[in-house]
Chains A and B, each alone.
Chain A
Amino acid sequence: MRPFNPQFILDVIPNLLPFLWVTLSVVLGTVFFGSLLGFVLARAKLSQKPLYCWLADGYIYIIRCTPSIVLLFIVFYGLPKFCLEVFDMDINGYEKIFFVLVTFTLLFAAPISEVMRSAYEAIDHGQYEAAVSIGLTPWQAFYHIILPQATVVALPNFGNSVIELMKEGSLAYTIGLVDLIGKGQLIISQNYGAYALETYLPLAFIYLLLTLGVEKSFLRLEHAFSRQKKAA
């Protein structure tokens, strides 16, 4: 067995770090678009019409049973063909990050819609009724009264979902996106397969720091929000 080379770890970190922003932009983009889609799903699940409710339920169930890598491949191979046939649009040349964003938005929306729905249901319905009865429009009542309270309830689960997403997002390298792990794989193949462990260990360390950072910042946010709640 080749001896472990700690010096290589220090050499490889500066090469990896520039690709941190690719990983982070995948996460941030997915959180943004996924929350929008999740909001729509949560709205559908709470609606009075059984068809919408049923559709949202089915979507959430199927996503829960789908491995991310399978959906990633389906989107990567299927979406260009689908767009070409249906919209007559050629997206074969699109950046890989586009397919990654589409996949993880689809994946992230399902758990986040459940988080939003449970947070919404945790707020007493009387709050909404009181707000409407003093003359707020339904949208104002939702935006000024329900949303701030539901956010506090949703934050811990939201943070967990983001961490989960960040870890799943590492699969993006399988379709050739050069993010942290993609760059790591490139470095390993540049060295003809040597120094694999010395490249994976700093990657694991970076991911560990990222997840711990996200966890800490969500805890901070939670504290800030609940202090506001107490003051009020």
Chain B
Amino acid sequence: MDINYQFLIKTFYLVLAAVPTTLNITAVSLLIAMPLAFYLAVIRLRPGKYIQIIISGYITFVRGTPIVLQILIIYSILPSFLNSVAKGFALEVNVFDWNPIIYAYIVFSLNTTALLCEVFRSALASINKGQLEAALCAGMTTVQAYRHIIVPQALVVAMPNICNITVKLIKGTSLAFLMTVKDMTAVAKIAASYGYNYIEAYMDVFAGYVIVCSVVQVAFAFAERHVGKFRFIK
């Protein structure tokens, strides 16, 4: 098989240069999704009929449809919708000049929120109710009780799943090229299209993702060890 090694190495550096974009989308989406998902998870554990139906409908939709479809739907309505909103308020902004990475943030945060909500909910449900009651009895406020008692213990349970979701999210960002974001996949695709060197380009992307995911998994292994000291021992 004739592989253009010069191109392979040159593109690998190009792909590596696009790693920050991938990490950027991942980090921002996680930062938006985590508090939202936590809040939704707390709501889901409380009684309340209508809000439960809305949240579970949202989660079912996100988990039941492919992420490609979610990207296509949001990318087909959001820009023109935002544009008409901007026009309606007579704002002097051109939505179509915005960096498309904004839509990537929106899609991936919405997606991750639903997945994380389920993780947080099961983690919170695994903590004995007595823990919260004891903390409240000891005079803590609800926020304090969650911050110091519930969350550290729930994190121990949730950490492996958070790692899985993060790896999935990183893999999912490879679809951001559908929204014309210049991430690893898009950069390689553009580089390959000049000389039809698709195999070399995609092998570079492949290597790039394996490296990024490995680093993230090692980081999570450390984080897991760190939160492990909060493990509840009977």
Cα distance, A68 to B80, chains bound together (Å): 30
| Most-contacted residue by chain A among B66, B80, B199 (CB, 10 A) | B66
Could you tell me the distance in whole angstroms from the C-beta of B54 to the nearest C-beta in chain A? 16
Question: Contacts A71-B206, A73-B198 known; A171 to B68 CB distance under 8 Å?
Answer: yes
Please indicate the chain A residues that have their CB under 8 angstroms from the CB of B38 in the complex. Answer: none
Would you give the 0/1 interface string for B204-230, flagging 1 where the beta carbon is closer than 8 Å to chain A? 011001101110000000000000000
Q: Is the CB of B174 within 8 A of A70?
A: yes
Q: Which of B66-114 contact A (CB under 8 A)?
A: 66-70, 72-73, 76-77, 80-81, 83-84
Which residue of the partner chain B has the closest CB to A86? B1
Which residue of the partner chain A has the closest CB to B175? A69
B29 CB-CB contact with A under 8 Å:
no
B44 CB-CB contact with A under 8 Å:
no
Please indicate the chain A residues that have their CB under 8 angstroms from the CB of B120 in the complex. Answer: none
Question: Contacts A170-B69, A203-B69 known; A197 to B77 CB distance under 8 Å?
Answer: yes
The B interface is mostly helix, strand or loop, or mixed, namely helix
Which residue of the partner chain A has the closest CB to B63? A211
Q: Is the CB of A208 within 8 A of B64?
A: yes
Would you give the 0/1 interface string for A73-114, flagging 1 where the beta carbon is closer than 8 Å to chain B? 110011001100110000000000000000000000000000
Would you give the 0/1 interface string for A191-223, flagging 1 where the beta carbon is closer than 8 Å to chain B? 000001100110110011001100000000000
Cross-chain contact of A70 among B2, B83, B209 (Cβ < 8 A): B209
The A interface is mostly helix, strand or loop, or mixed, namely helix
Cα distance, A85 to B1, chains bound together (Å): 6
Cross-chain contact of A207 among B65, B77, B175, B210 (Cβ < 8 A): B65
Question: Contacts A70-B209, A77-B199, A207-B65 known; A82 to B1 CB distance under 8 Å?
Answer: yes
Q: Which of A150-204 contact B (CB under 8 A)?
A: 166-171, 173, 181, 196-197, 200-201, 203-204
Could you tell me the distance in whole angstroms from the C-beta of B18 to the nearest C-beta in chain A? 13
| Size bracket, chain A contacts | 35 or more
Which residue of the partner chain A has the closest CB to B213? A65
A1 CB-CB contact with B under 8 Å:
yes
> What are 27 A-B contacts with C-beta separation under 8 Å?
A65-B210, A65-B214, A67-B171, A67-B174, A67-B175, A67-B209, A68-B171, A69-B174, A70-B185, A70-B202, A71-B206, A74-B206, A82-B1, A85-B1, A167-B66, A170-B68, A171-B175, A181-B66, A196-B72, A197-B76, A200-B72, A200-B76, A203-B69, A204-B69, A204-B73, A207-B65, A212-B60
Q: Which positions in A face B, CB cutoff 8 Å? A: 1, 62, 64-71, 73-74, 77-78, 81-82, 85-86, 166-171, 173, 181, 196-197, 200-201, 203-204, 207-208, 211-212
Q: Which positions in B face A, CB cutoff 8 Å? A: 1-2, 60-61, 63-70, 72-73, 76-77, 80-81, 83-84, 167, 171-172, 174-175, 185, 198-199, 202-203, 205-206, 209-210, 212-214
